[in-house]
Structure 1
Amino acid sequence: MAGPILGEDGVARCPWAGGPGVMRDYHDTEWGTHVSGEAAYLERLTLEAFQSGLSWSTILNKREALREVFHHFDADRIAAFDEADEARLMADARIVRNRAKISAAVVNARATVALRDAEGLEALVLSFAPASPPAPRTTEEMETTSPESKALSKELKRRGFAFVGPTTMFALMEALGIFDPHLVGCFRRATA
Structure 2
Amino acid sequence: MTRCGWAGPEQIYFDYHDTDWGVPEWDSRALWEKLILDGFQAGLSWITILKKRENFRDAFEGFDPNVIAGWGEEDVERLLQNAGIVRSRAKIEATIKNARVWQKIEQREGFDQFLWNYMDGKPLQNHWATLADIPAKTPLSEQISKDLKREGFKFCGPVIVYAFMQAVGMVNDHVIDCPRHKDCAELASR
In structure 2, which of residues 33, 42, 62 is the aligned counterpart of residue 43 of structure 1? 33
Tell me which amino acid in the other structure corresponds to 2:2.
Answer: A
Tell me which amino acid in the other structure corresponds to 1:138.
Answer: T
In structure 2, which of residues 144, 150, 153 is the aligned counterpart of residue 158 of structure 1? 150
- Is 1:180 the counterpart of 2:172 in the alignment? yes
Aligned residue number for residue 187 of structure 2: none
In structure 1, which of residues 171, 174, 180 is the aligned counterpart of residue 163 of structure 2? 171
CA distance in 1, matches of 2:132, 2:84: 34
Aligned residue number for residue 113 of structure 2: 123
SS in 1 for 2:174: coil
Tell me which amino acid in the other structure corresponds to 1:185.
Answer: D
Aligned residue number for residue 141 of structure 1: 133
Q: How many residues align?
A: 182
Q: Aligned Cα RMSD in Å?
A: 1.4
Judge conservation of contact 1:182–1:188 (CA < 8 Å) in 2: yes
Judge conservation of contact 1:39–1:72 (CA < 8 Å) in 2: no
Judge conservation of contact 2:35–2:164 (CA < 8 Å) in 1: yes
* TM-score calculated relative to the size of structure 1: 0.90
Aligned residue number for residue 3 of structure 1: none
Judge conservation of contact 1:128–1:151 (CA < 8 Å) in 2: no
Counterparts of 1:70-89 in structure 2, within 5 Å, are 70-89=60-79
Judge conservation of contact 1:128–1:149 (CA < 8 Å) in 2: no
Deviates more, 1:103-112 or 1:116-125: 116-125
Q: Which runs of 5+ in 1 are unaligned?
A: 1-10
Kindly, what percent of the aligned residue pairs are identical?
40
Judge conservation of contact 1:129–1:148 (CA < 8 Å) in 2: no
Q: Which runs of 5+ in 2 are unaligned?
A: 185-190
Aligned residue number for residue 6 of structure 1: none
* TM-score calculated relative to the size of structure 2: 0.91
Counterparts of 1:42-121 in structure 2, within 5 Å, are 42-121=32-111
In structure 1, which of residues 12, 28, 32 is the aligned counterpart of residue 22 of structure 2? 32
